Amino acid sequence: MKVLVTNDDGVRAPGLWALVKSLQTVAEVVVVAPDREQSGVGTSISLHNPLRITPVDAPPIKDVETYAAEGTPGDAVILALSHLVKGGVDMVLAGINEGANLGNDVYISGTVGAAFQGWFYGVPSVALSVGALHDVKFEAAAKLAPLLVGLFARGKLPRNLLLNVTLPNASLYDIQGIEVGRLARRTYADVVEEGWDGKRKYYWIVRGNAEWKDEPGTDVRAVRMGRISLTPLSSSNPQLLTTLRRLCFPLYAELLTARPGD
Ligand code: MN
């Protein structure tokens, strides 16, 4: 398996390297990620300016082919799949993002945006996020990633799948399970702050606290209950949902047998 790893937190983000370290055990990994943080840019791509790519000579993990790309996460995936990575990849993994991507948020998430772009190329794609912005625990997500790659490699998951995965910010053995959650209805009280740059007024959109309908069966509820949420974004075909639900428990059991420090 050859896997493209990208993210929206930027090529230096610790979550990306936790993911790479873990995936190296099961796949050949190439990293093409934005050169700076691009959270919240969704699926956007750059059509009005040129993009530069910088090979990273000394990546945090030795000998991993790594490129820092100008532009959005979607741009990084396009540059990777259309230009940089000869012979294509078997999967795209985006993350591990710092911060949940649940409910409506998936449509503005750069992490999910990168996964969308991989899926547009016909490559099975997974977005991985942990629901915290501080003291983020990457271990469980990092251990889950190679298990998901294994499911695709063994044909247990369809190749046309775009999967959004959000984990609670918990240690591996505090994770309460894995379930398939539909997107919750989540609303934000966005605030527009006004300022003065010395010449003109400016406005700054500040994300307020999220409010959500905490309904059973949603991704928000799953993560609140300490479970990992899997949400297919490519299809709500009942057969696919059944397939995913059947995989949840074996996947959870397998995750718990992953030893700390593996
Ligand atoms: Mn992010």
Residue 167 lies in a domain: yes
Pairing of β 91-98 and β 2-6: parallel
Cis peptide before 96 (omega within 30 of 0): yes
Please state, in angstroms and rounded to a whole number, the distance separating the CA atoms of residues 259 and 143. 9
Is residue 133 a contact partner of residue 99, using CB atoms and an 8 Å limit?
Answer: yes
Give the chain's length: 262
pLDDT bin (cut points 50, 70, 90) of residue 259 is low
Name the token pair of 48: 């009005």
Q: How remote is the CA of residue 101 from the centroid of ligand 1, in Å?
A: 9
Distance 244 CA to ligand 1 centre (A): 26
Asked whether 109 and 126 are in contact (CB, 8 A), the reply is no
Which residues, in sequence order, are CB contacts of 102 under 8 Å at separation 6+? 131, 166, 183, 184, 186, 212, 219, 220, 223, 229
Q: What is the pLDDT of residues 19-60, one digit of tens each?
A: 999 999 999 999 999 999 999 899 999 999 999 999 999 999
Q: Is residue 240 part of a domain?
A: yes
Q: Give me ligand 1 centre to Cα 145, in Å.
A: 17
Q: What is the pLDDT of residue 213?
A: 76
Whether pLDDT at 186 is above 80: no
Read off the pTM.
Answer: 0.94
- The tens digit of pLDDT for each residue in 130-145 reads 999 999 999 999 999 9
Q: The domain containing residue 219 runs over which residues?
A: 2-183+214-257
Tell me, yes or no, whether 248 lies in a domain.
yes
CATH number for 157: 3.40.1210.10
43/17 Cα distance (integer angstroms): 22
The CA 236 to ligand 1 mean position distance, Å, reads: 25
Tell me what percent of the residues of the chain surpass a pLDDT of 70. Answer: 98
Instruction: Determine, yes or no, domain membership for 194.
Output: no
Cβ–Cβ under 8 Å, residues 32 and 84: yes
Tell how far CA 259 is from the center of its chain: 23
CB 183 within 8 A of CB 106: yes
CA of 107 to the centre of ligand 1 (A): 13
Distance 206 CA to ligand 1 centre (A): 15
* Domain-located, residue 188: no
In a domain, 219, yes or no: yes
- Between helix 14-23 and helix 139-153 the angle, nearest 10°, is 40
The rounded Å distance from CA 97 to ligand 1 centre is 5
Please tell me the predicted confidence (pLDDT) of residue 211. Answer: 79
Residue whose tokens read 């983000």: 13
Distance between CA 107 and CA 116 in Å, rounded? 10
**The pLDDT of residue 208:** 74
Beta-carbon contacts of 29 under 8 Å, excluding residues fewer than 6 positions away, are 2, 3, 5, 20, 23, 64, 65
Asked if the structure places residue 110 within a domain, the reply is yes
Domain count, the chain: 1
**pLDDT at residue 123 above 90?**
yes
Token pair recorded at residue 228 = 């990992």
pLDDT in tens, 74-111: 999 999 999 999 999 999 999 999 999 999 899 999 99
**Can you tell me the distance from the alpha carbon of 200 to that of 93, in angstroms, rounded to the nearest whole number?**
41
Determine, yes or no, domain membership for 54. Answer: yes
* Beta pairing, strands 53-55 & 91-98: unpaired
pLDDT at 174 over 90: yes
- Does residue 262 surpass a pLDDT of 70? no
Cα separation of 44 and 175, whole Å? 33
